[in-house]
Amino acid sequence: MKFGILINEGPFTHQASDTAYHFTKAALEKGHDVPRVFFYYDGVNNANKLSEPQADDRNLVKLWGQLAAEKNVDLVVCVAAGMRRGIKDENLADGFRISGLGQLVEAGMGCDRLMMFGD
């Protein structure tokens, strides 16, 4: 099965991003295809390389980047939502790229299921 993933919550304020990461990782390990993860609303904060979680906390920004590199997952940050929250190319974490809502539409049309995490 081919999944598109939409994340609407940041990495430190809600469980949705953590759940999305674990869902995506598990789906890939089971042989499913996850060609794109789209970060929207506060979800764009998952791409901020300037975030510094405590040493004993998970680093979702880094984990997403590693997953993208290992499994060839396209991590797309919504340009409009990113600009509103100060996410620009210069503070974008490794593995992420900025693009428009057309990438979300394309993911939804090209996948069997579009999974949304967060409000």
Q: What is the pTM of this model?
A: 0.94
Minimum mean pLDDT range among 23-37, 50-64, 71-85 = 50-64
Q: For residue 49, is pLDDT > 90? A: yes
Which of 2, 8, 64, 63 minimizes the C-alpha distance to 30?
A: 2
Q: Which residues are catalytic?
A: 78
Round the average pLDDT of the chain to a whole number and report it.
94
Task: Indicate if the pLDDT at residue 14 is higher than 90.
Answer: no
Q: How many domains does the chain have?
A: 1
The band of 52, judged by pLDDT with boundaries at 50, 70 and 90, is confident
pLDDT digits (tens, 9 = 90+) for 60-87: 999 999 999 999 999 999 999 999 999 9
Three-state SS for the chain is CEEEEEECCCCCCCCHHHHHHHHHHHHHHCCCEEEEEEECHHHHHHHECCCCCCCCCCCHHHHHHHHHHHHCCEEEEEHHHHHHCCCCHHHECCCEEEECCHHHHHHHHHCCEEEEECC
In the chain, % of residues over pLDDT 90: 88
Residue 76 domain boundaries: 2-49+58-117
**Domain CATH code at residue 6:** 3.40.1260.10
